[in-house]
């Protein structure tokens, strides 16, 4: 146990020394009860749905959902390109999205199909997107499906509790591949137990920072925002508590 703790501290401390840690404080948006996009997945109360007048950021809120749940290995990544679709960028995603028209947005419609349907996305045995994720995509489409990038950062690096802050990051960037009974590479990031395992052995911090010797996550995508990585690193350094 002592050796694991020392390894954890050494890895995280070395990364902190190489990063410029920034912190921006803003009020968190409140959750909305009207999940107007429907959704077939379980309710994930850790995902905060912004008010309807809040502009959804494609770069940080929508693209990661498509990459994690759709552009995984064997599906719509650049290598496999199932059905000639590579859903890793705005242009490709817009091939199945019609701005301001939910009923004519094919990708949204297949996300709403039951897992028993062969056209459902993501397909079984992958878990469906949660109702909150569907709501975010729905809201983005209703706002014109804009290619919003470099959005205002509402991330606060002083907040890094597992349930309120770390779990939502995993849900957005990782759980599409790493959840359920057969998670990719045998790594389950949707539970504390699964995430704690790779926190203790150093893989979590290594993968999100794209360090040599680790599989880069998100796969074939830039590193997640430095604030999110800082939150994760602080949580790991604190002992990855289930708080």
**How confident is the model over 162-190, as pLDDT tens digits?**
999 999 899 888 888 888 888 888 899 99
**How confident is the model over 36-74, as pLDDT tens digits?**
333 444 434 344 455 566 788 999 889 999 888 886 665
Cα distances (Å, whole numbers) of residue 13 to 52, 134, 137, 202: 40, 37, 37, 12
Angle, helices 2-18/226-237, rounded to nearest 10 degrees: 150
**How confident is the model over 195-231, as pLDDT tens digits?**
999 999 999 999 999 999 998 888 777 888 899 999 9
Give the chain's largest Cα–Cα span: 56
CA distance linking residue 201 with residue 31, whole number of Å:
34
Q: Which two tokens stand for residue 118?
A: 């062969």
Angle of CA points 147, 148, 149, to nearest 5°: 115
Ranked by mean pLDDT, the top range of 66-80, 139-153, 191-205 is 191-205
Q: Three-class SS of residue 42?
A: coil
pLDDT top residue among 144 and 26:
144
């Amino acid at each position: 146990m002592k050796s694991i703790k020392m390894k954890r501290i050494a890895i995280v401390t070395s990364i902190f020394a190489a990063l410029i840690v920034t912190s921006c404080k803003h009020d968190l948006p409140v959750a909305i009860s009207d999940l107007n996009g429907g959704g077939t997945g379980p309710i994930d109360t850790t995902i905060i749905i912004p008010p309807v007048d809040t502009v959804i950021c494609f770069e940080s809120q929508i693209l990661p959902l498509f990459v994690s749940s759709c552009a995984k290995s064997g599906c719509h990544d650049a290598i496999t390109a199932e059905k000639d679709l590579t859903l890793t960028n705005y242009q490709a995603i817009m091939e199945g999205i019609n701005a301001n028209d939910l009923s004519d947005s094919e990708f949204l419609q297949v996300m709403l199909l039951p897992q028993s349907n062969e056209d459902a996305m993501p397909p079984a045995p992958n878990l469906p997107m949660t109702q909150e994720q569907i709501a975010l995509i729905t809201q983005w489409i209703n706002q014109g499906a804009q290619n919003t990038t470099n959005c205002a950062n509402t991330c606060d690096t002083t907040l890094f509790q597992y349930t309120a802050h770390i779990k939502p990051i995993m849900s957005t960037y990782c759980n599409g591949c790493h959840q359920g009974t057969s998670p990719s590479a045998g790594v389950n990031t949707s539970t504390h137990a699964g995430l704690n395992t790779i926190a203790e052995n150093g893989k979590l911090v290594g993968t999100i920072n794209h360090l040599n010797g680790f599989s880069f996550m998100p796969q074939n995508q830039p590193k997640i925002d430095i604030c999110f990585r800082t939150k994760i690193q602080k949580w790991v350094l604190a002992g990855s508590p289930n708080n």
